[in-house]
């Protein structure tokens, strides 16, 4: 029997529904959470992500703004824009969409965002708070992975979790969340990367395997054990003459083959993607709640 499908759309809807009473409480104090996105250049992927985040904000009743900057914008101009948003009381969450052009240092952009408005949870202060188990914000994609596991009845506590990928956006913060001595975490975490010797020997002993590499259908059935739980973070566009537009989106996992051995698996699309957006909205609501505190 193929593994159960972990439905990211359904779980993201649950997360969003739980935000509604918090929005009502904020509205009583005259607060509408607001999310501002800065986008640099014309990257179609970035444009699409920012549009999706804006649409999701609107559907939730959040205010949102997009600041479009040209590809050749100077770092100074971008940082001025961030400062302006930092100072704007209507803006509770700020995100600087990646990738950024080479003239802008990612570190400078990320560190310029006021930590209390850093809803992506990329600022070094917020990253540190996650690592020591006192998160102000939950990093959106990793927190989405954790919610998918918990709400599908697959508590990572005591499990061997293998994460393939060590980026600052996915792999590292996910490891930081799952290794905490806390309910809903408490896993034994291994991080694999391109320097890992004999990757399949690690992935095959995973109770929970998280693929976050950006390599289409890389994880094959012979790399997992029977009964594994798989979360596929990858988003890859591959040519497909039968698909509308000539491209298709696939994950980092060879879905059907791996599903045949898995206990449960998240699909792409419809898995981690919707969760990332839901968690970003949750962080914006939290930022608005924090804005009333000293």
Among 54, 101, 184, 214, binds ligand NDP (CB under 6 A): 214
Mapped onto helix, strand or coil, the DSSP state of residue 34 is strand
Closest chain position to ligand NDP (CB): 167
User: Rounded distance, CA 144 to CA 28, Å?
Assistant: 29
User: Rounded distance, CA 270 to CA 12, Å?
Assistant: 10
- Asked whether the beta carbons of 188 and 163 are under 8 A apart, the reply is no
Annotated catalytic, 232?
A: no
Does residue 142 belong to the site contacting ligand NDP (CB under 6 A)?
A: no
Of the ranges 24-32, 89-97, 259-267, 272-280, which one interacts with ligand NDP (CB under 6 A)? 272-280
Does residue 86 belong to the site contacting ligand NDP (CB under 6 A)?
A: no
The single residue listed with the structure tokens 């094959």 is 220
Smallest separation (angstroms) from ligand NDP to the CB of 170: 4
Of the ranges 55-63, 69-77, 83-91, 206-214, which one interacts with ligand NDP (CB under 6 A)? 206-214
Among 57, 97, 126, 141, binds ligand NDP (CB under 6 A): 141
Annotated catalytic, 97?
A: yes
Does residue 165 belong to the site contacting ligand NDP (CB under 6 A)?
A: yes
* Cα angle value 40/44/45 (rounded, 5°): 90
Of the ranges 9-17, 81-89, 150-158, 169-177, which one interacts with ligand NDP (CB under 6 A)? 169-177
Q: What angle in degrees, to the nearest 10, is found between the helix axes of 140-151 and 8-28?
A: 110
Does residue 219 belong to the site contacting ligand NDP (CB under 6 A)?
A: no
Residue 150, Cβ density class (10 Å: 0-12 exposed, 13-18 middle, ≥19 buried): middle
Annotated catalytic, 120?
A: yes
243-246 long-range Cβ contacts below 8 angstroms, 24+ apart: none
Q: Considering the candidates 117, 118, 120, 207, report the single residue annotated as catalytic.
A: 120
Cα radius of gyration (the chain): 19
Is the CB of 32 or the CB of 106 nearer to ligand NDP? 106
- DSSP codes of every residue in 38-61: EEES--HHHHHHHHHHHHHHHHHT
Does residue 111 belong to the site contacting ligand NDP (CB under 6 A)?
A: no
Enzyme catalytic residues: 53, 97, 120
Residues in contact with ligand NDP by CB under 6 A are 141, 164-167, 169-171, 192-196, 199, 212-215, 218, 233-236, 272-273, 276
């Amino acid at each position: 029997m193929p593994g159960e499908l972990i439905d990211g759309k359904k779980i993201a809807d649950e997360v969003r529904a739980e935000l509604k009473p918090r929005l009502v409480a904020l509205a009583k104090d005259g607060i509408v959470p607001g999310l501002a996105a800065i986008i640099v250049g014309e990257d179609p992927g970035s444009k699409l992500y920012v549009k999706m985040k804006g649409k999701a904000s609107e559907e939730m009743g959040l205010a949102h703004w997009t600041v479009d900057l040209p590809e050749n914008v100077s770092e100074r101009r971008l940082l001025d824009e961030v400062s302006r948003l930092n100072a704007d009381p209507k803006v509770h969450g700020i995100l600087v969409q990646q990738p950024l052009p080479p003239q802008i240092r990612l570190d400078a952009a990320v560190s310029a965002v006021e930590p209390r408005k850093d809803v992506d949870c990329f600022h070094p202060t917020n990253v540190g708070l996650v690592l020591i188990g006192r998160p102000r914000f939950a990093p959106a994609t990793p927190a989405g992975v954790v919610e998918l596991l918990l709400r599908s009845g697959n508590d990572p506590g005591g499990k061997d979790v293998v994460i393939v990928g060590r980026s600052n956006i996915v792999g590292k913060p996910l490891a930081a969340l799952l290794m905490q001595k806390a309910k809903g975490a408490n896993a034994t975490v291994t991080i694999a990367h391109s320097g890992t010797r004999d990757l399949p020997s690690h992935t095959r002993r995973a109770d929970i395997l998280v693929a976050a590499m950006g390599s289409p259908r890389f994880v094959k059935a012979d790399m997992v054990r029977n009964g594994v739980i798989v979360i596929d973070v990858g988003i890859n566009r591959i040519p497909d003459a039968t698909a509308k537009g000539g491209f298709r989106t696939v994950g980092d996992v060879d879905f059907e083959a791996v599903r045949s051995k898995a206990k449960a698996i998240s699909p792409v699309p419809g898995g981690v993607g919707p969760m990332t957006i839901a968690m970003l909205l949750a962080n914006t609501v939290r930022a608005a709640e924090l804005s009333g505190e000293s």
